């Protein structure tokens, strides 16, 4: 832990954190010393980026290879009308710079791929998956399990969302995985391409990703603070139409190909992240 002293401006900016017994100056320094990689600067990434930056996460990485479109603005709140056509990472970085100068933003204008995932993830404490496709979700899951990197997962569909947290901590040995499932324990393979429509086809309630992305950011902040109960082993499902939250217990799958008793995936090179994101044929 670095010097716990906060300057006068920081004491003012983070005063509502500092006065809380659960956070205080030490907790705020944890956040300022922390680093988070947000994969996706769209619907889920926007509120996550906004609140992580406001909370004082000291180093924030943003991965996205897309440009801002006007149709994004109904839900992707770190971008404005004047940003249409700009890379999303640039627009998001400008938003963070205007919000909190304490935050160092590192932009990665790439599509996450097996060839670059190790380099992109390696230097961050936590990864927040705000992607909108199965290939990225499975790639992040597999890599984070193999490297024991904490991962926040979120997904949305029309009026519904889901969130969970995978700490991927195997430090207690093999028996410790019983309550520490991964994404593949829940969904061993992705659905066949074309069977699950995307937001451009079915639409999405504009405020929905705000709720889900904020919950993801909350989980990340709690993880860095080492406070509270995370959603590890639990899938939180949100229905905006009924305004209901349901939590479903998840268990590790002993046959999981990446975190099971006899894993078949030793490297992301073992998987074809096209189609169903299944093992590469021998």
Report the length, in residues, of the chain.
282
Question: Which CA distances in Å does 249 have to 227, 236, 242?
Answer: 21, 9, 21
C-alpha 13: how far from chain center: 25
Alpha carbons within 13 angstroms on the beta-carbon side of residue 264 total 13
1: its two tokens: 């832990």
Task: Reply yes or no on whether 199 is catalytic.
Answer: yes
C-alpha dihedral sign at 69, 75, 78, 82: positive
- Catalytic residue chosen out of the listed positions 182, 199, 256, 277: 199
* DSSP string over 180-215: ---HHHH-SSPPPTTSS--HHHH-B-TTHHHHHHHH
Q: Are 163 and 213 in contact (CB under 8 A)?
A: no
Report the catalytic residues: 199
């Amino acid at each position: 832990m670095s010097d716990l002293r906060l300057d006068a401006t920081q004491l003012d900016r983070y005063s509502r954190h500092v006065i809380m017994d659960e956070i205080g100056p030490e907790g705020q320094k944890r956040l300022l010393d922390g680093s988070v990689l947000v994969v996706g600067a769209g619907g889920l990434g926007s509120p996550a980026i906004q609140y992580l930056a406001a909370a004082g996460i000291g180093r924030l990485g943003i991965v996205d290879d897309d440009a801002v479109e006007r149709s994004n603005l109904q839900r992707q709140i770190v971008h404005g009308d004047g940003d249409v056509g700009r890379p999303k990472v640039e627009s998001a970085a400008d938003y963070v710079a205007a919000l909190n100068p304490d935050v160092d933003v590192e932009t990665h204008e790439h599509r996450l791929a097996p060839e670059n995932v190790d380099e992109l993830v390696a230097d961050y404490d936590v990864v927040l998956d705000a992607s909108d496709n199965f290939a990225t979700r499975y790639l992040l899951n597999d890599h984070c399990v193999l490297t024991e990197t904490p991962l926040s997962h979120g997904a949305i569909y029309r009026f519904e969302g889901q969130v969970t947290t995978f700490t991927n901590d195997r430090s207690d040995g093999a028996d410790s995985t019983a309550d520490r499932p991964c994404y593949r324990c829940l969904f061993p393979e992705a659905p066949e391409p074309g069977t699950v429509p995307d937001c451009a086809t079915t639409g999405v309630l504009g405020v929905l990703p705000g709720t889900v992305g904020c919950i993801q950011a909350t989980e990340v902040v709690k993880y860095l603070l080492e406070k509270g109960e995370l959603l590890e082993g639990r899938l939180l499902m949100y229905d905006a139409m009924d305004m209901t939250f349901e939590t479903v217990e998840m268990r590790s799958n002993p046959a999981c190909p990446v975190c099971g008793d006899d894993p078949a995936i030793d490297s992301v090179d073992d998987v074809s992240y096209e189609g169903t994101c299944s093992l590469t044929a021998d």
